[in-house]
Amino acid sequence: MVAWMTPGTVENPVDFGFRTVSMANKPRLVRALFDDVAARYDLMNDLMSVGVHRLWKAAMIDWLAPRAPARFLDVAGGTGDVAFRILERLSAAGPNAADDAAVTLVDASEAMLGTGRDRALDAGIARGLDWVRGDAEDLPIDDGSIDYYTIAFGIRNVARIDRTLEEAFRVLKPGGRFLCLEFSHVLLPALGIAYDAYSFRVLPALGEIVTGNREAYRYLAESIRRFPDQRTFAAMIGDAGLAQIKVRNLSGGIAALHSAWRI
């Protein structure tokens, strides 16, 4: 279980929800959080979004429009949700269409990766996936080796968003695609009021019932509010060297897709 104490003075301070922790300590705290909720992570996604996260991920795959042969990298993808959808979309093109695709999943949490491996076995997916424990800010991936980089609901949890985006640029081939799905900033004031009430009152209580970890889902709500808005995040993507940046808001801005390319 994560210790939820904020030091009085921290070196290289970064946000951990509404708390402040050291940059060096945040990865450990995030990893411990996801290790703790991994077994119920996907169930909680369904419950807390009333299944809407499935529509967001479907929209992500539609916009990604994956094709093989290609090498895919799904960062913070431990339970496999996005990777499975990529393989499913490729397989829809023909019975052997996914054979020329390789999907590497990188996640900092071994428990999340273990949950994903179990899901793959249950689904009969034996090929095309490589499970790697690693850091989004220091990927164990060769320069210029990736055709598609995806990250869904993960970049909000890193210590350095700018460094994570620089890593995305580094591993992508020229002409490679970056696509990020993340909670964002609600565009409609009335929706925002209701969303805040749900986030800070319902989510922690639901998290406690389902996972036994109220604080993990309090952190979720807080980390969403700390994440840059759509325009600011788009500018950060450009600062990392990626180009042709486009944004699509989902559910009134509750989530957003950011697309870019390495030119």
Residue 18 lies in a domain: no
Residue 249 lies in a domain: yes
Which two three-digit tokens encode residue 255? 């989530």
Class of residue 91 by CB neighbours under 10 A (exposed 0-12, middle 13-18, buried 19+): middle
φ/ψ of 150, rounded to 5, equals -125, 150
Residue 61 lies in a domain: yes
Residue 14 lies in a domain: no
Question: Domain holding 211: CATH number?
Answer: 3.40.50.150
Measure Cα distances from 241 to 122, 231, 263 in Å.
Answer: 40, 16, 9
Contact 77, 87 (CB under 8 A): no
Class of residue 215 by CB neighbours under 10 A (exposed 0-12, middle 13-18, buried 19+): middle
State the residue for tokens 């929706």: 191
DSSP string, 171-216: HEEEEEEEEEEEE---SSHHHHHHHHHIIIIIHHHHHHHHHS-HHH
Q: Which residues contact 178 (CB under 8 A, 6 or more apart)?
A: 149, 168, 169, 172, 237, 242, 258, 259, 260, 261, 262
State the residue for tokens 């970049």: 155
Q: What pLDDT was estimated at residue 5? A: 43
Strand 243-250 versus strand 255-261 pairing type: antiparallel
Residue 169 lies in a domain: yes
Q: Which residues contact 110 (CB under 8 A, 6 or more apart)?
A: 35, 133
How confident is the prediction along the chain (263 residues), in pLDDT tens digits per residue?
Answer: 444 444 456 688 999 999 999 999 999 999 999 999 999 988 999 999 999 999 999 999 999 999 999 999 999 998 999 999 999 999 988 777 788 889 999 999 999 999 999 999 998 987 889 999 999 999 999 999 999 999 999 999 999 999 999 999 999 999 999 999 999 999 988 898 999 999 999 999 999 999 999 998 999 999 999 999 999 999 999 999 999 999 999 999 999 999 999 99
Residue 199 lies in a domain: yes
Residue 50 lies in a domain: yes
Estimate the crossing angle of helix 41-49 against helix 110-122, to 10 degrees. 80
Domain count, the chain: 1
Contact 202, 127 (CB under 8 A): no
pTM metric for this prediction: 0.92
Which SS3 state, helix, strand or coil, does residue 28 take? Answer: helix
What are the residues facing 257 on neighbouring strands? 181, 248
Which SS3 state, helix, strand or coil, does residue 87 take? Answer: helix
Residue 232 lies in a domain: yes
**Residue-number span of the structural domain to which 161 is assigned:** 39-261
Q: Which residues contact 45 (CB under 8 A, 6 or more apart)?
A: 53, 81
